[in-house]
A and B are shown apart, each in its own frame.
Chain A
Amino acid sequence: MSLIILYYRCFDEIFLTWDQSKNELESFIQTMNQENILIQVEYTASIDVDYLDANISWIDDDDHDDGPNKYQLETMVNHSSTAEPYALPYIDDDSSTKNFSKLIRSALIRAILSCSDVYQFQLEREYIELSFTVNQFSLLFIQKHICSFLREIFIDVFEFRNYRASLYGTLRQRVIDHDRKCRQKKLSLL
């Protein structure tokens, strides 16, 4: 039976899904490491991984013990790779321009793209607020930018302390579409 797997690489970091046994994965990695003595890979295989600035977990959820669908996909921003906790989120290459409203904007876009769940998003929004507060920005300044971003992407109906999943779902879809359009633009320039 043929299985569908994911495979992607970003520079020296590779992400893939594996549906066979761990032994088979190990022998696959061994083959990779025999190909070129100077190109050696180390691997982690788990149900909870950090990949670039993303955290992805595929966990057995005890709370939803009903039927076969008790596994839950949970996604969030991975902060462990940043140099210090609550450092300003310099995500894009061009954010070194000290344009802080742009910085808040890209942090929010990353948060929304990364968090499939509204609760994870709200935790991430609090993290963003805290990061900027630690770096001497007033809470008012930060929240003003968060609000204006949400108003731009969405409509002013989205109160940002909102925990309604359906509203967040619509907001997220818009950000995903926006991100896709940016990529489409980039592809058409190639």
Chain B
Amino acid sequence: MNISRYLYSLLQLIYEGISFETTYMKGSDAILAIERYHKQGYLRSTTLLVTLHVHRILSLFNHDQIIQTVESFLNQHVPSKQIHGISISTMIEFIRFILKHQFFIYNDKFYQQTHGSDSDSPLIQVLVNILLFDWEQPFVTFLKENNEIYGRFVDLNELME
């Protein structure tokens, strides 16, 4: 197994455990959620359905920023400071190495990628997911304070039955 795939499996484990309340896997999850929401009478004639798209995040994210975010995310959510025997600082060094060693050739010139990633590998996906998770927290909190968030926890209650 290559290092990128290995890091992915470690990070994905942590990320999914933390984010499942507000994460969808597929479009039909949104349908089932809004149906339950409707059944409980929350959908009103004035309710707007809103979709947001984060613009070109894969090619735009800042390397140092994402490393910093992932590091503090792990420090916050992994009290033992290691996953399967790999310490957070080792993981961060590997991630830094991968992000800082992205090269390509265009028109016979050699380039280094300084922002984002040209690969949509599983590792890059989970790194961006962690970045966006961190970014969205203030807004989720704002929405929670002004409204009540109706999230994945409803599914969990049903799962317990």
A associates with B: yes
Specify which chain A residues have a CB less than 8 angstroms from the CB of B139 in the assembled complex: 28, 31-32, 35
Q: Is the CB of A48 within 8 A of B49?
A: yes
Q: How many B residues face the partner with a CB closer than 8 A?
A: 64
Complex Cα–Cα for A47 and B66 (A): 35
**What 1/0 mask marks residues of chain B from 135 to 151 whose CB sits below 8 Å from any chain A CB?**
11011101100111111
Q: Is the CB of B155 within 8 A of A180?
A: yes
A19 CB within 8 Å of chain B: yes
Q: Is the CB of B62 within 8 A of A4?
A: no
Number of A-B contacts (CB under 8 A): 207
Specify which chain B residues have a CB less than 8 angstroms from the CB of A29 in the assembled complex: 52
Q: Is the CB of B151 within 8 A of A7?
A: yes
B16 CB within 8 Å of chain A: yes
Specify which chain A residues have a CB less than 8 angstroms from the CB of B57 in the assembled complex: 12, 38-39
A126 CB within 8 Å of chain B: no
B61 CB within 8 Å of chain A: yes
Q: Is the CB of A7 within 8 A of B149?
A: yes
B20 CB within 8 Å of chain A: yes
| B residues with CB within 8 A of A | 13, 16-17, 20, 22-35, 37-38, 40, 42-55, 57-58, 60-62, 65, 125, 128-129, 131-133, 135-136, 138-140, 142-143, 146-152, 155, 158-159
Show 29 residue pairs from A and B whose CB-CB distance is below 8 angstroms, ordered by the A residue. A4-B40, A4-B150, A6-B150, A7-B22, A8-B22, A8-B23, A11-B128, A12-B132, A17-B47, A17-B49, A17-B50, A32-B52, A38-B61, A45-B50, A49-B50, A51-B51, A52-B27, A53-B27, A56-B31, A56-B34, A56-B49, A71-B43, A75-B31, A91-B26, A113-B28, A180-B158, A184-B159, A187-B20, A190-B13
Given contacts A12-B128, A49-B49, 14 further A-B pairs with CB under 8 A are A4-B37, A4-B149, A8-B22, A16-B52, A17-B48, A17-B50, A19-B48, A42-B53, A46-B48, A54-B28, A54-B30, A113-B31, A113-B32, A114-B28
| A residues with CB within 8 A of B | 2-19, 22, 25, 28-29, 31-32, 35-36, 38-54, 56-58, 60, 68, 71, 73, 75, 77-78, 91, 110, 113-114, 116, 176, 179-180, 183-184, 187, 190
